[in-house]
Amino acid sequence: MLRVLFAALIALSVATPAAAENRYYAYDPADRLTRSLTGGLTFEVERGLFGGQRIVRLYTTAAGGSTPLQVGGPDAVRRSLPEGAEENAVYAIPVEGDGRGLIRALCPGADEAWLVFGRLRPARPLTAHAVGRWIDGTFRSCASLNWSFRGEWSRLPPGTASGSDVTAVPTRQ
């Protein structure tokens, strides 16, 4: 019995990385503030074996840039959210590359910034909150962003950074 259980655990651990898949969820801005700060975005989402997900990368459809997002951040990020915010998945925006421009757009004057998301679900709108940390160490909510769902792809959709020459077929719209 112990051998069977051990063999099943080994098989599961070998199969887990193969079961993870990446999907691309595209969103259009749902209000003027979101349109002015980010425009349309595509998120690369890694979906795990048991339904877990994490955002791996953010692509802007308007400016052609992209940046990885890093899971986690200080607890002060969540405490800075507007009252009633239900989103709680914190992602750090890197200060290198295109991440620096995103930080400047979302939280002008901040040294660091984070995005706090709810769960990304196909065919559902998405809300995220930008939170910044200023030079004095203060964390502040910068903006609440709202997008409407545009589509889900198994590869980058046409028109996104690194995806402009990819022919992608939407799996859901």
Please list the residues that pair with 82 across neighbouring strands. Answer: none
- Flag residues of the chain having pLDDT under 70: 1-19, 157-173
Which residues span the domain enclosing 144? 19-155
In a domain, 48, yes or no: yes
d(CA 44, CA 78): 23
5 falls within a domain = no
Tell me how far CA of residue 79 lies from CA of 65, 88, 131, 139, in angstroms: 30, 10, 10, 9
Q: Which residues contact 84 (CB under 8 A, 6 or more apart)?
A: none
Would you state the pLDDT for residue 166?
Answer: 32
Whole-number pLDDT of residue 160: 56
Residue 160 lies in a domain: no
**pTM recorded for the entire structure:** 0.79
Could you count the other beta carbons within 10 Å of the beta carbon of residue 143? 20
User: Would you state the pLDDT for residue 157?
Assistant: 61
Q: Is residue 84 part of a domain?
A: yes
Number of domains the chain contains:
1
Q: Is residue 35 part of a domain?
A: yes
Domain assignment present for residue 11? The answer is no
Angle at 102 between CA 20 and CA 151, to 5 degrees: 45
> Does some domain include residue 164?
no
Cα end-to-end distance, the chain, whole Å:
47
Rounded to whole angstroms, the Cα distance separating 102 from 110 reads 11
**Confidence (pLDDT) at 106:** 96
